[in-house]
Amino acid sequence: MAAGSEIVIIKNVTKSYRRGNQIVPVLEDISFTIQSGEFIALMGPSGSGKSTLLNLIAGIDKVDSGSIIIGGCEITTLSETELARWRAVNVGFVFQFYNLIPVLTAYENVELPLLLTRLSRRERRDHVEAALEMVNLADRMDHRPSQLSGGQQQRVAIARAIVTDPAILVADEPTGDLDRVSAGEILSLMDHLVQDFDKTIIMVTHDPRAAEKAHIIRHLEKGLLTDR
């Protein structure tokens, strides 16, 4: 994907949730685009819909109306199965609480997305080792998450997110559970991925220091984008 082209196009997207008997609107007719190679921070007060927007972009939630086109593919028209397959290859997701599988080693956690592809064992091994190298954790590949620190776990999560070489990475409060030093390491890593590997990163955060590392900051308030 050529840098500078529009990799994420969001058009007139509306999303609301049902809470009990009430319908709570979260995103109202929101539209914007993200260029390839950008590092965007989405900020806003709680309830503003930033996580919801992230989920919609990552294809793990469905819009009520509107369309989302990522890398030329209109994901809003895909079925559940197609969406799952699309996700496995095109998106990497990094969570606030790492969400690693506790019974699997670091190596096996990173290998997970590759199991959905047709790669052979040896090919998978190459990808996993490369990813772990990238995040500097090759020496701990046989450790389970419980044997790793918070920062190390998040790095494994990032390795997992990039192992299928997706075009975009989506991160929901990636530094929310880390101390300052680890947070700094993670953010540098993400910056590195954007600068040197042309990844596009969309990050939701309320940590101003994290937002600083991003190129662009966008604010969401009550489901609407404001640009400050």
Partner 1 sequence: MFMLKYILRNAFRHKLRALLTVTGVAIAILAFGLLRTLVGLWYLGVESSSSTRLVSRNAISLVFSLPISYKERIRQIPGVTKAGAMNWFGGIYISEKNFFPNFAIEPQAFLDLYPEFLLSPEEQKGFLLDRQGAVVGQKLANTHGWKLGDRVILKGTIFPGQWEFVIRGIYRGAQRSTDETQFFFNWDYLNESLRRTIPRRADQAGIYIVGVANPEKAAEVAQAIDASFKNSLAETMTETEKAFQLSFVAMTEAIMIAIKIVSYVVIVIIMVVAANTMAMTARERISEYATMKTLGFQWHHIAAAVFGESLFIAIFGGIVGIVGTFPAALFIEKELSQFFPTFQVTTTTTVLQLSAAILVGATASIFPTWRAATIRIAVGLRRIG
Chain contacts with partner 1 (rule: CB under 8 A): 52, 55, 58, 60-61, 80-81, 84-85, 87-89, 93, 95, 97, 99, 101-104, 112-113, 115-116, 160
Q: How far is the CB of 220 from partner 1 (least distance, A)?
A: 17
Closer CB to partner 1, 10 or 58, in the complex: 58
* Rounded CA separation 136/11 (Å): 39
User: Both tokens of residue 111?
Assistant: 């290998």
Closer CB to partner 1, 15 or 218, in the complex: 15
Q: How far is the CB of 196 from partner 1 (least distance, A)?
A: 24
Q: Using H for helix, E for strand and C for coil, what is the string for 68-91? A: EEECCEEHHHCCHHHHHHHHHHHE
Q: How far is the CB of 83 from partner 1 (least distance, A)?
A: 9
User: Both tokens of residue 10?
Assistant: 């969001």
Closer CB to partner 1, 21 or 81, in the complex: 81
Cα-Cα-Cα-Cα dihedral of 62, 64, 67, 72, to 10°? 10
Closer CB to partner 1, 24 or 116, in the complex: 116
* Rounded CA separation 40/140 (Å): 30
Output phi, psi for 81, to 5 deg: -65, -45
Q: How far is the CB of 108 from partner 1 (least distance, A)?
A: 8
